Structure 1
Amino acid sequence: MATQTSDLLAAAAPRTVDVVRGIADDQLDLPTPCRDYVVRDLLNHLFQVVVNFQDLAVKRQVEWAEKPDHLGDGWRDRFAVQTDRLVAAWSDPSTLEGVSPGMGMPQAVVGGMALLDLTVHGWDLAVATGQAYEPAPEVVAELHGLVERLGPTARRMGVFAEPVPTPTPGAPDLAHLLSRTGRAPTWSR
C-alpha cells in the first residue's frame, strides 16, 4: 500500500540520502544554515527525526530529549535503511487517521513534518557541504501549504526563524519555501 505521505517521502528520501552519503568525515564540523548546528549535529538531529517519525506513524510516543550519537560505523548506510523504513512506516493508510497522541496534531500534519525535515535539512546539509540539491517539485509544492499552516506556531516555538526575503521575485519554489522557514536561500559557509 501507499499513501500520499509515503509517496512524497519516497520522492524526497533518495535526494537527501544522496546528500548524506556525500558528506565527508572532515566536513562534520562545518557550520550549517541551522544556527545552532554544525553538520554533525544536524545529521544526528535528522537521524533522530527519521527514526522517531517511524514510531509517530504508528502513534507511539517518542523521546526527543535524548540526543544519541548516530554517527558510528556505517552511519551513511544506516541512514539510508532508516529512511526506507520511514517511507514504509507511513505507507499504511491508518497512519494518517486521527490525532498523534504524542504531538497533539492530526497524523497527516505529523507525516508532513517528517517530509519537511527530510527536505529542508537535506538542503541545509547540501549547502553546508558544497553539494547540489534539487528536491522533487511535488514535495516542495506540498510543503508550501504545511509551512503556511505551521509557520506561526513554529516561529513561536523557535523551530522556524522569521521569514526572510527571497533573493528575486522569480526565485525557484525551493527558495520561497526556505525563506518562509527563516533560511536565507543564498546562504553559504
Structure 2
Amino acid sequence: MATHTSDLLAAAAPRTVGVVRGIADDQLDLPTPCHEYLVRDLLNHLFEVVVNFQELAAKRPVEWAEKPEHLGVGWRDRFAVEVDRLIAAWSEPSTLEGVSPGMGMPQAVVGGMALLDLTVHGWDLAVATGKPYQPASEAVAELHGLVEQLGPTARKMGVFADPPPTATTPTPPDLDHLLAQTGRTPTWPTTT
C-alpha cells in the first residue's frame, strides 16, 4: 500500500541517501548551512528525524536526544535502511488520519515535516560536502505549501531563520525559493 506522503518520501529518499552514502569520514567536521551543525551533527540530527518519524507515523510518542550519536559502524547502510523504514511507516493510509499525539498537529503535516527534513537536509549535506543534489521536483512543489503554513511558527520557535533579504521578491516554486523560506542562503557558502 502507499500514500501520497510515502510516494513523496520514496521520490526524495534516493537523492538524500545517495548524498549520505558519499560523505567521507574526513568530511564529518565540515560546516553546513545549518549554522549550529557540522556535517556529523546534521547527520546525527537527520538520522534521529528518520527514526523518530517512523514512530510518529504509528502515533507513538518520541524522545529527541539532545546530542544523538548514530554514526557507529556501518552508519551509511543503516541510514539507508532507516529511510526505507520511514517510507514504509508512512505508507499505511491510517498514518495520515487524525492529530499526532506527539506533535499536536495533523498527521498529514507531520508526514510533510519528515519530507521537508529529508529534502532540505539532503541539500544541506550535499553543499557542505561538495556533492551534486537535485531534489525530487514533486517533493519541492509539495513542500512550498507546507513551509508557507509552518513558516511563521517555525521562525518564532527558531526552527527556521528569517528568509535572506533577496528572498522577499516572488519567485517560482523552486528549490532556491524553498531553501530561502527555511532561512537558508541558496548560494551557500557564498555570502552576498
With structure 2 as the length reference, what TM-score do the two structures score? 0.95
Distance 1:171 1:113 in 2: 21
Q: Which residue of 1 aligns with 2:134?
A: 134
Distance 1:65 1:31 in 2: 21
Q: Which residue of 2 aligns with 1:187?
A: 188
Cα RMSD after superposing both structures: 1.6
How does 1:5-84 map onto structure 2 within 5 Å?
5-84=5-84
Distance 1:156 1:8 in 2: 27
Identity %: 81
Q: SS of 2:104's equivalent?
A: coil
- Return the letter of the residue paired with 1:56: L
1:48-71 CA-partner distances (Å, limit 9, x unpaired) = 000000000000000014433100
Q: SS of 2:148's equivalent?
A: helix
Q: Which residue of 2 aligns with 1:158?
A: 158
1:61-108 CA-partner distances (Å, limit 9, x unpaired) = 000144331001000000000000000000000000000001000000
Bigger Cα displacement from structure 2, 57-66 vs 22-31:
57-66
Q: SS of 2:130's equivalent?
A: coil
Distance 1:151 1:95 in 2: 23
Distance 2:131 2:144 in 1: 23
Assess, with a 3 A threshold, how the Cα gap between structure 1 residues 168 and 150 changes in structure 2: closer, same or farther. closer
Q: Which residue of 1 aligns with 2:111?
A: 111
Q: SS of 1:124's equivalent?
A: helix
- Return the letter of the residue paired with 1:129: T
Q: Work out the number of aligned pairs and report it.
A: 189
- Return the letter of the residue paired with 2:43: L
Q: SS of 2:43's equivalent?
A: helix
Bigger Cα displacement from structure 2, 60-69 vs 1-10:
60-69
Assess, with a 3 A threshold, how the Cα gap between structure 1 residues 23 and 167 changes in structure 2: closer, same or farther. farther
Distance 1:59 1:66 in 2: 22
Assess, with a 3 A threshold, how the Cα gap between structure 1 residues 63 and 170 changes in structure 2: closer, same or farther. closer
Is the CA contact (8 Å cut-off) linking 1:167 and 1:186 kept in structure 2? no
Is the CA contact (8 Å cut-off) linking 1:175 and 1:185 kept in structure 2? yes
